[in-house]
Chain A
Amino acid sequence: MEDHEIIRLYFARDEAAIRETDRKYGGFCANISWNILQNTLDVEECVNDTYLHIWNSIPPVKPLSLMAYLGKVIRNLSLNLRKAKCAQKRGGGQYDLVYDELSQVVPSSESVEDSYGEIVLRDLLNRWLATLPEEHRLAFVGRYWFFDSIRDISARMGCSEGKTKMLLLRLRRRLKVYLEGEGISL
């Protein structure tokens, strides 16, 4: 079923919308959540919460890309759950690795939240991503949005794991320089 048909079901308040969403994007959602949580029960909980969130938000929201919208919701829910659990202990999987990698980029001061906030940071990121060659952008999105492993990203890009690691390292350095240039003091 096409995305616009599924969205039409949501607007008609037809519960078949959830079944169709699960059929088409269940694996996609579970994969993102698993990369962050590494726990079957938690993933299941997040996927169900995502469907509930979607059910409650559409309408009025009418997403241009259902896949991206679902992805953002489940990623956000998974990160929040992970954050809550992280307060207790670190788990494993790709999340810890990605977190450590991004810690090298982000300034340690509170100024990020104070001065810029999430919206400003999002715009900066979008502008920075737009300057990258497509292959570099894919690697960055795969690693830091999808939380995919280096191996999976390398397979998708058709290059060695070493090359992908090196590319991501250079991208993080470039992002750090870019954020500094935009006034985020490190």
Chain B
Amino acid sequence: MNTHTLLAAINDISDSYIEAYNSARPKGKKFPLRKLVSAAACLTLVLLTGAFLFAHFYEAEMEDPRGGVYYKFESFDQLRSLLPEGHILANLPEGEVECSGRHKEDVEGMGTYADYYHLDIHLTTPGKDSVSIYCGVGLNQEVETYLEYRFLLYPPEETERWILGNIPVYITQQDGIWRGAFAIQGDVYEVLSSTFSQEDFLEFISQLLNG
């Protein structure tokens, strides 16, 4: 058996070779610089691609079917400066306000009030009540016509009609969210809140309308 002969011959190799192997301690795997650079390059590529895709889809999410350019106001004062005199959105009670809107076109800066399709305002009062107000600028629709298109959110049999400050206001509640809709001078407004009671919700809209 030749292989056995070789195996037996290997048995008698120099003691120093045996000791050298036995005393060689396990080493950590080498991680050459080239691998490190490749890994860093791949990571950078993945991050850049991710950022590009995120930006692309985020923008797409903000797309308005009517076109225009999304604009986020840095402060409520920026929005207030656009509003025509006596506009009800200037009557907001004290609180923390976030607001945004969509330009009809890509205009320089904020433009004017008439340049917007809609304005969105989110108000958090010092009492932690939370209200969202949607203003459809220049829709030139009766509120009843507007609600006909949104009958799923304002089912006629569950929607109450109130007159607040001589303006008809339609309110309803679904899944704990109060919704109110009304129209003033061609603009349509929707108010939403999940923290108010019905009484407080009506009171809030009254204050908004009466200034």
Q: Which residues of A contact B (CB under 8 A)?
A: 28, 64-65, 67-69, 71-72, 75-76, 79, 83, 98-99, 102-103, 105-110, 112-113, 118, 121-122, 125-126, 129, 134, 137-138, 141-142, 144-146, 155-160
Smallest CB gap from B6: residue in A: A106
Q: How far is the CA of A141 from the CA of B17 in the complex (A)?
A: 7
* B residues less than 8 Å from A79 (CB atoms): 4, 7-8, 11
Say whether B21 contacts A126, CB under 8 Å. no
Q: How far is the CB of A114 from chain B (nearest CB, A)?
A: 11
Say whether B30 contacts A112, CB under 8 Å. no
- 1/0 contact string of B3-21 vs chain A (CB within 8 Å): 1111111111111111111
Q: How far is the CB of B97 from chain A (nearest CB, A)?
A: 61
Smallest CB gap from A157: residue in B: B27
Instruction: Give the total of B residues in contact with A, Cβ under 8 Å.
Output: 29
Say whether B15 contacts A102, CB under 8 Å. no
Say whether B7 contacts A99, CB under 8 Å. yes
Q: How far is the CA of A157 from the CA of B25 in the complex (A)?
A: 8
Say whether A144 contacts B19, CB under 8 Å. no
Q: How far is the CA of A147 from the CA of B14 in the complex (A)?
A: 17
Chain A's interface: helix, strand, loop or mixed, by majority? helix
* B residues less than 8 Å from A113 (CB atoms): 2, 5
Q: How far is the CA of A186 from the CA of B9 in the complex (A)?
A: 18
Q: How far is the CB of A3 from chain B (nearest CB, A)?
A: 11
Q: How far is the CA of A69 from the CA of B12 in the complex (A)?
A: 9
Q: A125-B13, A137-B17, A145-B11 are in contact. List 13 more A-B contacts (CB 8 A).
A: A65-B15, A67-B22, A71-B22, A79-B11, A98-B7, A105-B6, A122-B9, A122-B13, A141-B21, A144-B10, A145-B10, A145-B13, A159-B29
Say whether A156 contacts B5, CB under 8 Å. no
Q: How far is the CB of A94 from chain B (nearest CB, A)?
A: 12
* A residues less than 8 Å from B126 (CB atoms): none
Q: Is there a chain A Cβ closer than 8 Å to B28's Cβ?
A: yes
Q: Given A102-B3, A113-B5, A129-B17, decide whether A158 and B11 contact each other with a Cβ distance below 8 A.
A: no
Say whether A28 contacts B22, CB under 8 Å. yes
Pick the 3 closest A-B CB pairs, nearest first.
A158-B27, A68-B15, A121-B9
Q: How far is the CA of A182 from the CA of B4 in the complex (A)?
A: 19
Say whether A138 contacts B24, CB under 8 Å. yes
Q: How far is the CA of A155 from the CA of B22 in the complex (A)?
A: 13
Say whether A145 contacts B21, CB under 8 Å. yes
